[in-house]
Structure 1
Amino acid sequence: MALTHLQIFENYIKPYSKGSCMHYSILQPEMRYFQHEYGLVSYIKKHGCHFVLADPIYRSQDREFQVKLIADFLNQYKRVSFVQVSRKFAELLHEEFNFYSTQIGNERLIDLQQWKISGKRKQVIRTACNQAAKQGIEIIENPLEDNFDSISAKWLSTRQVKEREIKFLVRTYPYFEKDARTFCAYSAEGNLLAYIIFSPIFENGKCAGYVPDISRSSPKFKQGIYYAIMVEAIKQFKNEGLSYINLGLSPLIITEDAESYESEKLRSVFKFIRKYAGTLYNYNGINYTKSRFIHDSAQSNDGTTTPTFLCHKSSLPLFKITAIFRAANVI
């Protein structure tokens, strides 16, 4: 019998997730699930390929059981790639199943108890907060707000590729909003200007933090209302004693030095895409925004930066990369 999203959330994500910001995203409507005595693997099928999204959810942290789960999955499904997974899982796939594991970007984790708004790189954040206050903008958590369509349509009209909303790699709204948090910015007249929807991240059966999965803003506010909403959410989550905010994937932001298990050919392709495919997706703009909160080198106490991986069998899986972009609605 097929699992419902509520069953996946309550029986797998909440009790067994180990801090993956992507586990809430496996609740997307097109996802399929491989149930196993040792855990759960979430995937989609596209153009004859199977793409696993995020680390599997394990019932046990025993490596032997983890390997058995993946082995049984690979025995049943062919042409498999693993998308947006952690370094630890990428290394397991390489060591146990001879996969290449190549960086596709990074994730930044804001340390909620250490992060401060001071510092040169955060001037743009302070400016946004000051402008919001000057204009009488009120930022509040409002779980009852659902008037998002107009703001979202206006936001999409300002994108480089209009009428195209990314999915799969980035979750869309709505599909399953249990335990999600919504922070909204309202004008002095009470009109909705912008919002961010935060999805929960679980560790050891408890919510440890959030990821700002969905953000939209009216083009009328030019000073970066995203920053102002984020600062308000940081204050709230810090007061609640939570550990971090994961800013999510910064696509194609990869380190200069490759790991031994990465494909140099694919790294070269990713660098080419980032350099010349900016009209398809604003890679550099996303990285700039997130780097205001945490520097790329993570030299301060603001948080950490960790690589995210794509795991694949061939050294240059161009067909699968194209299929992933299509699944994500990038092309």
Structure 2
Amino acid sequence: MTPDEIFESYIKPYSQGCCMHYSILQPEMQYFQHEYGLISYIKKYGCYFVLADPIFKYSEKEFRVELIKKFLNKYNRVSFVQISKQFAELLNDEFNYYSTQIGNERLINIQKWKISGKRKQVIRTSCNQVAKNEINILESPLENGFDTISSNWLRTRQVKKREIKFLIRTHPYFEIDTRTFCAYDSDGNLMAYIIFDPIFENGRCVGYVPDISRSSAKFKQGIFYAIMVEAIKKFKNEGFEYLNLGLSPLILNSNSKSFESEKLRSIFKIIRKYGAKMYNYNGINYTKSRFIDESAKEKEGVTNPVYFCHKSPLPLFKITAVFKASNVI
């Protein structure tokens, strides 16, 4: 099936709020189709990696179990990457999978979100500097001058000249229904941009996830924050429900669940502590955490765990394969 067919036949009508379903349209993805739904996966180094929750056509548990059973009967050495707690529990209950947290997702309640609060001081500073420097932030659906900004941005990363893929989609490959917000300096030059992927639930778009973001190193106050604020304002006026900030990798809850592998959790903690040269785990988490104060009386959002599901208690080869498939190593 083509990306257009997957998008129209599965994601739009049957996705239930999964922010990763737009990313299953990446060119390397393969698809397992069944009358009960769709499973997206890649094959790397003799292993099969399912990306995101399957798209189920029916909510009843027996149909979901049957879809997974059919897939596992056809393929072996299967792991599931970036999946929800609900699906992780299903895999553990029905198929004896370990389900180990790999990070979390923060969901902003757009209709309740405000820019006030101590935690959001860095966001307000960014917005003030944007106004002071006469930077204009616009939704620019026809903008395509991204190459220079993107290549310059990549040179500032810990891992230069190597863009993450699979776990994070690359641009462009399929841009139907995405939203693009751009920042321009006083001379009209593009300084930064964020591309938001749509999130569908019950057949309609309910929110977005900022999947692709790039910025010029010339602006030191975090222009990402200011673009996000403008996008949130517009999405709020349009009546959308939430903004999913996407995965903060290797940010783990303090208490593990019974279905998690303690051995793998320990490995993830070591990677986070010593793997900063590969990926800025703590910096990404800091940026996303500025948007939600979970201790506030009026809840502006929630944080949900995200899981990696695996058969053996310490799947080191498969973790390495995921990192290689994602271009991290």
Q: Same fold (TM over 0.5)?
A: yes
| TM-score, length-scaled by structure 2 | 0.99
Alignment correspondent of 2:60 = 62
Inter-partner Cα distance in structure 1 for 2:216 and 2:108:
25
1:219-230 counterparts in 2 under 5 A?
219-230=217-228
Inter-partner Cα distance in structure 2 for 1:69 and 1:294:
36
Alignment correspondent of 2:120 = 122
1:84-123 counterparts in 2 under 5 A?
84-123=82-121
Structure 2, unmatched stretches of 5+, are none
Displacement after TM superposition at 1:299 (Å): 6.8
Inter-partner Cα distance in structure 1 for 2:282 and 2:294:
12
Alignment correspondent of 2:43 = 45
Alignment correspondent of 1:202 = 200
For 2:314, the aligned partner's letter is L
Q: Deviations over 1:60-83 (max 9, x none)?
A: 001000000000000000100000
User: Number of matched residues?
Assistant: 329
For the Cα contact (< 8 Å) 2:294–2:301, is it kept in 1? no
Computed over aligned residues only, the root mean square deviation of the Cα atoms, in angstroms, reads 0.9
Inter-partner Cα distance in structure 2 for 1:154 and 1:11:
37
Displacement after TM superposition at 1:161 (Å): 1.1
Structure 2 SS opposite 1:269: helix
1:183-202 counterparts in 2 under 5 A?
183-202=181-200
Alignment correspondent of 1:74 = 72
Structure 2 SS opposite 1:301: coil
Displacement after TM superposition at 1:302 (Å): 1.5
Inter-partner Cα distance in structure 1 for 2:296 and 2:132:
32
Alignment correspondent of 1:273 = 271
Structure 1 SS opposite 2:254: coil
| TM-score, length-scaled by structure 1 | 0.98
1:34 to 12, 32, 45: 32
Alignment correspondent of 1:251 = 249
Structure 1, unmatched stretches of 5+, are none
For the Cα contact (< 8 Å) 1:184–1:192, is it kept in 2? yes
Inter-partner Cα distance in structure 1 for 2:322 and 2:15:
24
Displacement after TM superposition at 1:301 (Å): 1.4
Alignment correspondent of 1:24 = 22
Inter-partner Cα distance in structure 1 for 2:171 and 2:298:
34
Inter-partner Cα distance in structure 2 for 1:98 and 1:209:
33
Structure 1 SS opposite 2:159: coil
For the Cα contact (< 8 Å) 2:294–2:300, is it kept in 1? no
